[in-house]
Structure 1
């Protein structure tokens, strides 16, 4: 669905400052923090690594994936948060240590993305055990009704509820894991993951009662709206209808996508992911228009703020997260074919 390789470059999109920012914030051990001296989480770490791959910063990207391999627990999981102020368990100080299934599994998406960008089969072989164990952790927590439980505490206690956006992310992770297994000739793992993905997709599409059962509904969050489209759970006419029905609720014209429907706050990352979702249903011109809006939310160096509070007319919060710029790079890639992985989110693999 992209315009084709070479139609527009990273520099043409003025996204080189965003990638430079990611590389500056990356720690010596490979972990990409949200911002200097801040926390990190495995999902956003992988997204930032994906932007490095699109930009051709291959060594920095490989270093990020080495961090995942080294940080991964024996059960295939990662802590939900990390950072410069880590406690004895490795989690970020002040955060409750827990292992979230979608954050642990997302390494499969990043690994396959880097392979598509580089064609580096040796990298794929090296990351295979990490991907295998991460997806096994997620699948080990799949309910009989198909959803995958959100998190596990340090003692192994499972929180038996599920998030729509988190499960949609795992759906994409399972698709990418299956694609990796196919490349490497691991048919058994591929078939297991595709079967788990099929059950998970059915739960997301047909069993809303299995989500948000023990906490307040997350439907006010934009991610619940478009993530099933972004991750390929809902496709075709149903995907177009889903996006159309939420547009008035979440999209602020010429500003971006609200993070939360009832808050006057547009965020760059959600806006970029909405652009990706629109590209996936063929609405590339609208996606491009939304992405173009977002460059008003950069600092003097061209690095993106988290978002803009349009009632207060202020950037809020006053942070410039690495993963925000990464989302912009991935959206630009999908629209302009900057890398060989440009179609990863716009050409979903069918069940």
Structure 2
């Protein structure tokens, strides 16, 4: 078994395992990994499973994937929020569904367990077919389908960026399992184009740092355009010595966003800034290995007053990305490695060029 990742001078392998055990400690009897307030959503749940896998807690991760199998609906989605195994919010989010492909592909990279990947393949295919069915003519993917079956009237930039990674991982998984899915690849290409060239396609959530870095982290935007994008808002969202803000208009840094920014920088080869941000956010570490969700640096208080599994998961995934420890450490870095083929269907000048 591969050793847990470590980042010299910042976090040891033993501390990473301790952090993973803090995630396992909140896993419920059914395998779900809830938010501090008690609900489970598929996206954050999968992120936690990926972190458990990196740290070698494979039994706990498998229990979490069993939870996904049990709670997937016939249309391929999961309820937006589940409490005690029951749907508390019933709409199905497209980015939640897409993320299962990232999780299963990551698991295969780390463990090499083809039997498990094959067992999860029907779950992945239903989920990504649900996602692709929500793609518009222009190429963006709307954020949800409600319980009446109606698609949302708009798309979200962060969500679509994460979906782009899900589709790319789904294509790679399909090829590895010998069941190619060209429709997913076409959907990913169309989505990448919209993410790169059509900001007007998405609801304005620009106060959130995720909308700043996620088009890069999800693999749609790379190269000089990505560097330019990060530099443009760096001083807006990054607080030296503390990490990254969640939103631009509040004095509030958050651990998950900080670590996602670390992985974004790593994907661009910006090792120095990646390591700096990762070291800066360690003030959120609790003595038991868990991580506070955030820090309000004007009031000098943790806000909200909670330690979240998804924050701990982001720390572990960032440590793995920086250290290149497991075979899955490049799952974000490699999300932008595929060549995008644009057919011109959206009709814009850039597409025809």
What is the TM-score normalised by the length of structure 1? 0.92
Alignment of 1:252 with 2:239, yes or no, is yes
SS in 1 for 2:281: helix
Contact kept in structure 1, 2:104 and 2:117, CA below 8 Å: yes
How many angstroms apart in 1 are the aligned matches of 2:292 and 2:4? 28
The aligned residue for residue 145 of structure 1 is 138
Alignment of 1:290 with 2:271, yes or no, is no
Alignment of 1:120 with 2:107, yes or no, is no
How many angstroms apart in 1 are the aligned matches of 2:334 and 2:61? 23
The aligned residue for residue 337 of structure 1 is 324
How many angstroms apart in 1 are the aligned matches of 2:232 and 2:306? 31
Unaligned runs of 5+ in 2: 341-353
How many angstroms apart in 1 are the aligned matches of 2:83 and 2:51? 20
The aligned residue for residue 41 of structure 1 is 41
The alpha-carbon deviation at position 288 of structure 1 amounts to: 1.0
The aligned residue for residue 136 of structure 1 is 129
Alignment of 1:210 with 2:201, yes or no, is yes
**Number of residue pairs aligned between Structure 1 and Structure 2:** 334
Contact kept in structure 1, 2:162 and 2:214, CA below 8 Å: yes
The alpha-carbon deviation at position 8 of structure 1 amounts to: 4.7
Deviation string, structure 1 residues 60-87 (Cα, Å, up to 9, x no partner) = 1111111111110000010111123x6x
How many angstroms apart in 2 are the aligned matches of 1:164 and 1:178? 21
Contact kept in structure 2, 1:109 and 1:176, CA below 8 Å: yes
Contact kept in structure 2, 1:98 and 1:151, CA below 8 Å: yes
The aligned residue for residue 80 of structure 2 is 80
How many angstroms apart in 2 are the aligned matches of 1:155 and 1:104? 18
Contact kept in structure 2, 1:5 and 1:337, CA below 8 Å: no
SS in 2 for 1:98: strand
SS in 2 for 1:60: helix
Equivalent residue in structure 2 for 1:184, among 164, 177, 190: 177
Name the Cα RMSD after superposition. Answer: 1.7
How many angstroms apart in 1 are the aligned matches of 2:14 and 2:138? 44
The alpha-carbon deviation at position 203 of structure 1 amounts to: 1.0
The aligned residue for residue 60 of structure 2 is 60
Q: Do the aligned partners of residues 220 and 6 (structure 1) sit closer, same or farther apart at CA in structure 2, a change above 3 Å counting? A: closer
The aligned residue for residue 23 of structure 1 is 24
Alignment of 1:161 with 2:157, yes or no, is no
Alignment of 1:101 with 2:94, yes or no, is yes
Which deviates the most, 168-177 or 237-246? 237-246
Equivalent residue in structure 2 for 1:110, among 98, 103, 116: 103
Aligned pairs for 1:213-252 within 5 A: 217-252=204-239
Which deviates the most, 148-157 or 12-21? 12-21
Deviation string, structure 1 residues 139-186 (Cα, Å, up to 9, x no partner) = 011000000011111111211200000000000000000010000111
Contact kept in structure 1, 2:75 and 2:126, CA below 8 Å: yes
The alpha-carbon deviation at position 200 of structure 1 amounts to: 0.6
Equivalent residue in structure 2 for 1:299, among 282, 286, 290: 286
Contact kept in structure 2, 1:7 and 1:337, CA below 8 Å: no
After superposing on structure 2, the runs of 4+ consecutive aligned residues of structure 1 that deviate more than 6 Å are: 4-7
SS in 2 for 1:97: strand
Unaligned runs of 5+ in 1: none
